[in-house]
Chains A and B, each alone.
Chain A
Amino acid sequence: MKPSFCIRELLLLLVMGVLAGSCHKHDFLDKPPSTDLVVPSTLNDFQNLLDNDQIMGLVPALGEISADNYYLAYEFWQSLGARVHNAYIWTPDIFGGEGNVEDWNFPYQQVYYANVVLDGMDNIKTSSSTMADWNSVKGQALFTRAFAFYNIAQVFAPVYDETTAAADTGILLRLHQDVSSRSIISTVKQTYNQITGDLRTASGLLPSMVSMTYVNRASRPAAQALLARVYLSMRKYDSARLYADSVLLSNSSLLDYNSLKLTVPTPVGKQNVEILYQASFVNYVDKQILMGYSYPDCFIDTTLIHSYDTNDLRLPIYYYSIGVDSFNLKGSYAGSVIPFGGLALDEVYLTRAECKVRAGFITEGLQDLNDLLSKRWKTGTFTPYAAASQAQALDTVLLERRKELAFRGLRWTDIRRLNKEGANIIPSRSLNGTVYTLAPNSYLYTLPIPPDVQQLSGIKRERH
């Protein structure tokens, strides 16, 4: 028999096969396990992270829940989970030991995503054809981080006060993605410097036009509108006016409410000419009470309802009536029952109006207001405002600000800021005969750091 030669050859082949396999084993084992998993490293990956609207387009709701635009039926209030229940009456320890606070976690998750993008941007080679995209992605990440920091500061940090900001404790600023590094607390001044600095850089990088399709992506007008909002909250009215001006110079369209259908649940769409940046309130695992008709026992503040004229279209567009003086929230600029928490041009008009009036340009300020309101009232019914004094003009502008921007996440910040100006706004709740009030400039305007964060980071903050 001769075939043993063949067998040796076969053996050799098998052995060679094993060896060959070993030589290429790193190629063999380098194959990614799934095509739907990526290690984010390209501009497209980063844009996808920033475009995750389930995470990126959310703003805290606790401020609005603590504010005075609504009231709850007693029995409904009793059924609420600890956080909303306590926030409604400004209990000092509003979390009652419960962690997982969406109002904290979501903005910090946005910060993490933005940091993943920002940490990775330098590794991306750019060419002249990709430079615009590179700038846009970096600008969006900076904007996102600044917006998140700002939103956290409105709930968890004291209001900005030029005289004490350098000493007041602000928020935890995280500027890199490494999850093993500890969080370090900043001062209020550092907090706002970071926010405004990031935003100024972002506005230099972002595209100058707002996309009508991708309204979830930041643009230069959005960054400027946010700067106006931030400076307003810092009571730096001149800077606020400057940025509001810049926005309105490039984009001043207003939505005529006469063109909207009044009878439908959500008359305003999420993509309309006024929107600069789309975002909405976080949705709680437990009850998010400020959610349209889902919670009929959440009523609009009667004084606020009464302040709308019968010819004012905002009444039927923002609210619906379920009985005498009983109004529930309708959908909003977010195009759904969840309230809008992003940036829109009407806010910029009102910001500029207020800043102008504060600077003494009363007529110009009221002109901005009248331009806006003429699109809010039934056609031909609106009588433009004129004011005798600066104080009267300011009151008018501030009242209209509250009416226009109700349930947009701005009221809480406005109360904090205006009380610093001496407005003496005292929110109060009446529940089953008990009346709760919140004194101006109380420490309760700054919520405690959530218990799980305190436990895991070791960071505590004195409140008094």
Chain B
Amino acid sequence: MSVLKLAGPILLIACLLQKLPAYSQPSRLITLTEVNVTLEKALQDIHQKTGYTYFGESDWTQSGHLVSFSVRKGTLRQVLDSCFRGQPFSYEIIDSAIAIHPRPQKEMLVHGWVYTEKREPMAGVTVLVRGESGAAAITKENGEFIIRTHYADDRLLFSSVNYEPQELKAEEGRDVVVMLKEKVGELSDVVVVHNGYQDKNRKGSTGASDVVGTELFDRRVAFNILDHIDGITNSVLFNKNIVAGTNQSAITIRGRSTIFANPNPLIVVDQFPYNGDISNINPEDIESVTILKDAAAAAIWGAFSGNGVLVITTKKGRLNQAPKLSFTTSQTIGEKPDLYYQPVLSSADYIDIEQFFYRKGGYAIPLAGFSHNALAPAIEIFDQTTKGLLSPADSATKINALKGIDDRKELSKYFYQGSLNSQYALNISGGGPRNQYFLSSGYDENKNNLVRNLYKRITLYGNNSYLLLPGKLELTTGLGFSTSKTYLNNAGANIGYPYAHLADANGNPLPINFGLKNSYIDTAGSGQLLDWHYIPLNELKNADNTIRLIDYRINISLRYIIRKGLEMTGYYQFGHGDSTGNNYQSLQTYNTRNLINLYTQNNNGLYTFPIPKGGILDEQRNAYTANNVRVQLNYSDSLFHRGLLNVIGGAEFRDLAGEDRRIRLYGYEKGTSGSIAVDYVTQWTEYAFNVKSRIPYFDLNVDQAERYLSYYANADYTYQGRYILSASGRWDESNLFGVKANQRGVPLWSVGGGWILSKENFYRMKWLPFLKIRVTDGYNGNVDRSTSAFTTAYINPSGNSYGAGSATIVNPANPSLRWERINTFDAGLDFSTRSNRLGGSIDYYIKSGQDLIGFSPLDPTVGLTIFKANTANMVDHGIDINLHTNLDLGLVKWNSVLLFSYVRDRVTEYKESIGPVVTYLNSGLISPFVGRPLYSVYALHWEGLDPQTGDPRGLLNKTISKDYASIVNSPNLSDLVYMGPASPPVFGGWRNSIYWKKWGLSWNIVYKMGYVFRRNSIFYLQVYSGASPGHIDYKRRWQNPGDEKATDVPSLVFSPDKYRDNFYQNSTVLIEKGDHIRLQDVQFSYDIDRSVYSRLPISRIRLYLYANNLGILWRANHAGIDPDNVSGIPNPKTLSMGVKMDF
């Protein structure tokens, strides 16, 4: 039904973009064999089989030739064509009759144009009339042809060397426009690299790139484009354990080459950088994804390309193609997340630790009555027992009851569910003689693993190319529209202890100890305050938090062929995205009740409420508006003999405006428009805390502008089809803040050379018929927009604590600020054996980031301790290997792809030596260390447990020490032990696909190697403060002398010294190897077409099953940890069932 809802809009778009040509679709299939019979006999047989009668002028029965043919499962038209081939008559189907006419001999003149797929005019194409007349013509320089034929012979055959021949029906008075497809080579597939500016044949280019074609792209089932390319290409790493605040990117292409600037690859959709969330684009609309890796491939994107480029190409229709309708749907079910994955403490152990802390006096202050902050139930029971309010026997009963509760059972029941993702997509593509179109619509609905969280997306997409003047002018328009709604009602339960009951036996929600003590809540405010209890299940029920998003982009481009080999293109794209989050916190929600209570004023029994008793609405809006304009000249010509030159050059503007708005309404009731003004200025006394504070103020209104002006050129020269030279240059300028006009720009360039050795005369290796060497070098760029050449201050959005404005200086004047530059040297080898049975590529590269933005230390006396400037350098070394085999064993076809990527980054220059050692241990900081990867894992020397006390021991000044504070704060960086990189330097996959008849089976094994991670353990103070549910390592803790021989887990102590935990947490004993091999997914498919089932009403159906996140096959760590999910919960297994129908 969701699809039906979409039918309206898609038809509307269809009407707007395109008049669809109507084609008839005969449906009955006939099998008929005739040998030397009269035409009349044949028509009688056809009449018997189909019921079609026939009539015509009388002489047809005499003057016809005898016919012989054999048609198996043919349409009526096919059978009749066979009958009338060479006859002096033609036929016409009128209702259910066959009318026979004398064949008119009237001549017609057919005029038309022939192009390549890249819309370049093709000269020298042979145009042949099929049939008796046998007329032929050759296309001119501009691809034009005129041919004389007659009505009966209206089939034209177009052929040219290296191109697939194409047959077409001609009509008088209408230009015939034909696009010829390049022949797929014997040795290696023709892979087209779309770089956003031009299309290149990969064989004939120098750059390093990868193309994920439609079939590979569609192999995975996911609603987000990026998930489709995870684990299937070289050098692209999806980072799983991203630490907030460390400027990590979810995707890296060929490692890392910046520190503080933008770390994300550029994503290009429809020729221009895409500014919205990539999940707004429906994967069903994607034709291919091109990954540009080295300087020659990516330098065309200049200052945006330092982190690599992903070019996403959308599907298009084809000229002269009957409308093809296709429908896909998939349903993906996922398991509930495994809450037992993290080995946390049992409730019994947890309470034992609480009891230990209680006996040591750890809760004396919170219990002293000075503070009203809530304490865990067990601590309250211990306290009541001590105070004599509870007998020891009752206390023991209560404690034992609590020890029996495991809140994960109820959490799993009430907060989690199996996921269900549904996808529906309908698209139609085709084209007439002058136009081609692709239209699609999609609906996605993802029921999250968290109860009450949901995502719905509707996408519409259409593009249409129209040859305004064949051979001269072409207009392309496109529209992409996406709207989604995200429900974020479940933020998980917020419980500080593991033995909470969320509901009673009847499912009634229960309050937990949270915020303030129950004893205080029950008496405070003499009935004037709102209920101050926190009930997790009611929070879940009452949450009303949604994000609505609308995103669209409009493309218009004009292509004008000035003369053969020279053309001009103009592009314009408008993009806009708007996401509005509405978090309505009704009076039932804890946050609202808590705030109202907190600001309630009691003036001698007179209660006033500075925050009105009503709901709170938090609205957050983020929007962007992008305008892109590009003008480009393309030139291609033969130079000298046997040389081919391709040059493009152009200019582009990019204007990106961003908006960031936040507003809070107090006293807001949903469904009404009113809210109530509050006094944000007065310092109110907080109820229960007696400190003064203002009512929280969140409103914000920030506008951002990014503007770029770029000029670029790119040239390729191929000589004798075997020597390739390429060069590119680009100049980018931006509105970098405060930079002097003459320093705003950066010149970037690349050069490359390629040599197809296998085409040389001296080449003898017959078993390796294709061998190519590539070498490229050049510069990509990157911008850090947060720095400025002037003394720049940030306006603190909430002002100061006196209600006045406030500003912070973010950087001092830096007149020598410039763009980051990344030099990439790449040497590569492409090869394939006969019939492409074995093929692949090997690349070695060096990426060196220069003038990277980094911090330099300043004498604190100048007023700032650090200075952000172009002072850092980094180097990446890497190897990419791609090997594939295609085995054709008759019925069985087996394809196998092995991917291997190695990339090691190293900071080569960094001015600031950060100390003490703890800064390198805190994973939330970027702490570059010269000679090490940017993201490295460091640890502290471990000298075992103290045999007397079970205290952990480390090294201080090379002697065994328990002075944890000094160890952790040591300024001597040689006290750090480097454990390894935090992200895998070696990764890849091994993908196999086996096809037998119409059955297909494919599975992907991925691996990550050579990195380490820090695992969790028991940190007592975190348990004490309720910040952590602890860890079962507690069971293995040191308890008696001698235990230190068998365990590394420190003894349980109550010490206000946070450094004891801190030391253990950062010691070498908790570092694990991250290496693992994972069975990522398995796909199983079955294709049905008319060769399998002749009465299939449509042309093709593909049925498939897809299982994802299947599990780890091997891991180096023995703790059972999934290195991709060290602190969270691994992605649950999912199973998809899908159907794809082509009509």
Contact = CB atoms under 8 A, between A and B. Distances in A.
B734 interface: yes
Contact of B796 (A35, A52, A76, A82): A52
Interface in B522-574: 558, 560, 568, 570
Interface string B766-804: 000000000000000000010010111111110011111
A174 B651 contact: no
B691 A52 contact: no
B810 interface: yes
Interface residues of A, number: 89
B370 A293 contact: yes
Interface string A109-153: 111110110000000000000000000000000000000000000
A36 B702 contact: yes
A183 B860 CA distance: 10
Interface in A34-75: 34-40, 44-45, 47-49, 51-55, 75
| Chain B: number of interface residues, binned into ranges | 35 or more
B861 A53 contact: no
A79 B859 contact: no
A18 B863 contact: no
Contacts of A110: 863
A17 B863 contact: no
Nearest to A278: B802
A335 B809 contact: no
B99 interface: no
Interface stretch (B249-257, B1001-1009, B1055-1063): B1055-1063
B488 to A, nearest CB: 26
B337 interface: no
B863 A456 contact: no
A98 interface: yes
Contacts of B791: 39-40, 116, 177
Contacts of B800: 51-54, 216
Contact of B793 (A45, A115, A181, A297): A45
Contact of A52 (B370, B703, B807, B857): B807
A464 B810 CA distance: 39
A33 B859 contact: no
Interface in A8-31: 10-11, 14-15, 17-18, 21, 25-26, 28-31
A32 interface: yes
Contacts of A109: 860, 863-864
A17 B1059 contact: no
Contact of A48 (B558, B792, B795, B863): B795
B737 interface: yes
A99 B864 contact: no
B797 A51 contact: no
B734 A49 contact: no
Contacts of A99: 860, 915, 971
Interface in B1045-1065: 1055-1057, 1059
Contact of A53 (B683, B709, B806, B862): B806
Nearest to B685: A264
B705 interface: yes
B966 A453 contact: no
Contacts of B971: 97-99
Contacts of A36: 702, 794-795, 797
A17 B795 contact: no
B631 A18 contact: yes
Contacts of B867: 179
Interface stretch (A186-194, A266-274, A392-400): A266-274
Contacts of A293: 365, 370
A100 interface: yes
B1099 interface: no
A251 to B, nearest CB: 19
B493 to A, nearest CB: 29
Interface in B687-728: 689-692, 701-707, 709
A100 B865 contact: yes
Contact of B861 (A25, A32, A54, A108): A108
A364 to B, nearest CB: 36
Contact of A79 (B570, B744, B860, B1057): B1057
A105 B810 CA distance: 16
B802 A215 contact: yes
Contacts of B651: 18, 21
B916 interface: yes
Nearest to B916: A98
Contacts of A100: 860, 865
A322 B369 CA distance: 11
A86 B857 CA distance: 25
B473 interface: yes
Nearest to A456: B859
B807 A453 contact: no
A296 B915 contact: no
A51 B860 contact: no
A239 interface: no
Given A1-B469, A33-B736, A213 B802 contact: yes
A443 interface: no
B792 A38 contact: yes
B862 A29 contact: no
Which among A10, A29, A54, A336 has the highest number of chain B CB atoms within 10 Å?
A29
B802 A183 contact: no
Given A32-B735, A116-B791, A7 B631 contact: no
A34 B653 contact: no
A162 B427 CA distance: 91
B323 to A, nearest CB: 29
B738 interface: yes
Contact of A112 (B473, B804, B863, B1059): B863
Contacts of A3: 468-469, 473
Given A80-B965, A98-B916, A456-B857, A269 B793 contact: no
Contacts of B689: 265
Nearest to B655: A28
A40 B793 CA distance: 6
A111 B863 contact: yes
Contacts of B702: 34-36
Nearest to B745: A29
B155 to A, nearest CB: 28
Nearest to B862: A179
A319 interface: no
B793 A28 contact: no
Nearest to A3: B469
Given A18-B631, A453-B859, A37 B737 contact: yes
A38 B709 contact: no
A45 B807 contact: yes
Contact of A108 (B469, B631, B862): B862
B735 A31 contact: yes
A11 B568 contact: yes
Nearest to B965: A81
A266 B744 CA distance: 53
Nearest to B807: A48
A31 B708 CA distance: 11
B858 interface: yes
B735 A30 contact: yes
19 contacts: A3-B469, A11-B560, A36-B797, A37-B792, A38-B793, A45-B807, A54-B806, A79-B965, A81-B965, A98-B971, A99-B971, A101-B860, A108-B861, A111-B863, A179-B813, A183-B862, A213-B802, A216-B802, A264-B690
Given A18-B651, A28-B735, A36-B795, 13 more contacts: A1-B469, A28-B709, A32-B705, A35-B703, A37-B793, A39-B788, A54-B800, A96-B966, A112-B809, A215-B802, A265-B690, A320-B370, A457-B859
Interface of A: 1, 3-4, 7, 10-11, 14-15, 17-18, 21, 25-26, 28-40, 44-45, 47-49, 51-55, 75-76, 78-82, 85, 96-101, 104-105, 108-113, 115-116, 172, 174, 177, 179, 181, 183, 213-216, 264-266, 269-271, 293, 296-297, 320, 322, 331, 335-336, 450, 452-453, 456-457
**Nearest 6 interchain pairs by C-beta:** A112-B863, A48-B807, A456-B859, A264-B690, A79-B1057, A457-B859
